[in-house]
Amino acid sequence: MSYDAVVLISFGGPERPEDVLPFLANVTRGRNVPPDRLAEVAEHYQHFGGVSPINQQCRDLLAAIRADFAANGLDLPVYWGNRNWHPMLADTVAQLRDDGIRSALGFVTSAYGGYSSCRQYLEDISTARAAVGPDAPRIEKLRQYWDHPGFVEPHADAVANALATLDPGRRDSTRLVFTAHSIPVSMAASAGPQGGRYEAQLRETAALVAERAAPGLPYDLVWQSRSGPPQVPWLEPDVNDHLRALAADGVTSVVVSPIGFVSDHLEVVWDLDTEAAATAKQLGLDYVRAGTPGTDPRFVAMVRELVTERLNPADTAARRRLGTLPAWDTCPTGCCQPARRP
């Protein structure tokens, strides 16, 4: 199989106050998100002047990937398209077609399996291709990278750096708290061919990061950014409830590491840096939030490695990974498909 382009595919976010509601309408179309939750989330965006940081983070990543490809002699053009806001993936696919691209590899800014993290990207790729028509290029999604060293190592260094800012005299009462986006329990159950893949991968990533950054320090995996109607169960505990439980147990200091994400987008700067930080302050906890990969050179190089391993499938030694959970290039049909959408 030969490929003539790479497409960076991300979530998208508004960059002007008037774009917030249309963006939220795109994200929640066909999903069961109550209006009061939407109003609350619109507030979070307006708090930052209606500008989500995620698009600029994608522009920075795009520039870094292009520079890394050029420096390493990988001669493939790199495009960018989003699932929920401009530049919209369908427009990018039309551009690829106009540029004569027949077959591309897609790098998504989500490391894990599951419906929201993987299958929805595949669905949106096929919707975008259908909108462009029969001469739309093929786009094959690159593999999930939860246990790739280019993802794990930047997270681990960020945790080590965050830990170094806390009082070493309180190390015995310090806790490492990993967070990821909560999802409906039903979605967690249908993640991967056997179910439970989103959580299992997050637990593997947490273990890989913890053993590198803070051997021996106790850690937990908890959830953030819960949405949906209150009667639908989502993964728990929420990070704020967890901080309360830790404080009640005598923990004095926490490092919060958002291993569920690749950049400091709104779910990080609002839900952690604003909300969880306020909860910690109320509780008298020392709180520090660890960084995300962003444009760390190892993360950028990982994108190139994921591409070159697909260009040279025989070179199995080039397929770097640290974990032991099952891995594959192409998700089976029906993988991560909830029986009934939440």
Is residue 265 a contact point for ligand HT9 (CB under 6 A)? yes
Q: Which residues contact 57 (CB under 8 A, 6 or more apart)?
A: 263, 264, 265, 294
Taking CB under 6 A as the criterion, which residues in 143-172 touch ligand HT9? none
What residues from 194 to 213 belong to the interface with ligand HT9 (CB under 6 A)?
Answer: none
Length of the chain: 342
- d(C-alpha 256, C-alpha 258), whole Å: 7
190 is annotated as contributing to ligand binding: no
Query: Minimum distance between the CB of residue 47 and ligand HT9, rounded to whole angstroms?
Result: 12
Determine the interface stretch with ligand HT9 among 35-43, 141-149, 157-165, 304-312 (rule: CB under 6 A).
Answer: 35-43
Q: Is 31 in the site for ligand HT9 (CB under 6 A)?
A: yes
Q: Is 181 annotated as contributing to ligand binding?
A: yes
Q: Which of 147, 153, 267, 305 lies at the binding interface for ligand HT9 (CB under 6 A)? A: 267
* 77 touches 69 (CB < 8 A): no
Query: Is residue 41 at the binding interface for ligand HT9, with CB under 6 A as the rule?
Result: yes
CB nearer to ligand HT9: give 38 or 217. 38
Q: According to CB under 6 A, which residues from 51 to 70 bind ligand HT9?
A: 52-54
Q: Is 208 helix (H, G, I), strand (E, B) or coil?
A: helix
178-188 as b/e: b if 16+ CB within 10 A: bbbbbbbebbb
Residue 110 binds to ligand HT9 (criterion: CB under 6 A): yes
287 is in an annotated binding site: no
Q: Looking at 24, 88, 235, 272, which residue binds ligand HT9 (CB under 6 A)?
A: 24
Annotated binding residue 121? yes
- Helix spans in 141-274 (H): 149-164, 185-189, 197-213, 239-248, 266-269
Among residues 51, 259, 266, 272, the one that binds ligand HT9 under rule CB under 6 A: 266
Supply the minimum distance, in Å, between the C-beta of residue 182 and ligand HT9.
8
Pairing of strands 286-289, 253-257: parallel
Give the residue, chosen from 4, 26, 27, 56, that forms a contact with ligand HT9 under the rule CB under 6 A. 27
Q: Give Cα 181 to chain centroid, integer Å.
A: 9
In 3D space, the residue among 210, 117, 111, 198 whose CA is nearest the CA of residue 158 turns out to be 210
Interaction between residue 179 and ligand HT9 (CB under 6 A): no
How many other CB atoms are there within 10 angstroms of residue 44's CB atom?
Answer: 18
Query: How many CB atoms lie under 10 A from the CB of residue 297?
Result: 13
Annotated binding site: 52, 121, 181, 267
Residues that bind ligand HT9 (CB under 6 A): 11, 13, 24, 27-28, 31, 33, 37-38, 41, 52-54, 109-110, 116-117, 181, 183, 225, 227-228, 260, 265-267, 342
